[in-house]
Amino acid sequence: MKPENSQPDTRTPSPPYGYSRRCTYPREQQIHIVAEFHAHKIRPSRIAYRVGIDIAFIEELIAGETEPVRFPQLVKFYRKGRYQQRLNETQKSTGVTRYELQQKIEREFVQEIDL
């Protein structure tokens, strides 16, 4: 219930669920973007919000309904890159801390690849 003396709401409405902007990328590049974001464990709704790709297309890719062979290969490629990036970041640490981080990263990578 609104108070009688309230001002009209001048805020801009929220964008539709999952979107914050229009997507300007061609379909091929959208597939690569979704694969990279998915490899970094970013939720489909967040991918759609950040990049503007249709959430239905994102979910089709992840479910294997569209590009069932190529998309998993791209995700695997980007996961390997993420793995290397994370291992390189452990170089800042030394000794036991570095070893433990590397072991943790290795376990997570093997677990992700088995999915």
Within a domain: 14 = no
pLDDT in tens, 8-53: 656 555 555 545 667 888 999 999 999 999 998 899 888 888 888 8
For the cut 70, the answer to whether the pLDDT of residue 97 exceeds it is yes
Instruction: Please state the domain count of the chain.
Output: 1
Within a domain: 105 = yes
Record the tokens describing residue 69, joined without a space: 């062979």
pLDDT at 18: 47
Q: Rg of the Cα trace of the chain? A: 20
For residue 57, which of 79, 29, 15 has the smallest C-alpha distance?
Answer: 29
Within a domain: 108 = yes
Within a domain: 13 = no
Within a domain: 4 = no
- The boundaries of the domain holding residue 57 are 27-114
CB neighbours of residue 7 within 10 Å: 5
Record the tokens describing residue 105, joined without a space: 């990263």
Identify whether the C-beta of residue 47 lies closer than 8 Å to the C-beta of residue 75: no
Within a domain: 78 = yes
Record the tokens describing residue 7, joined without a space: 């001002």
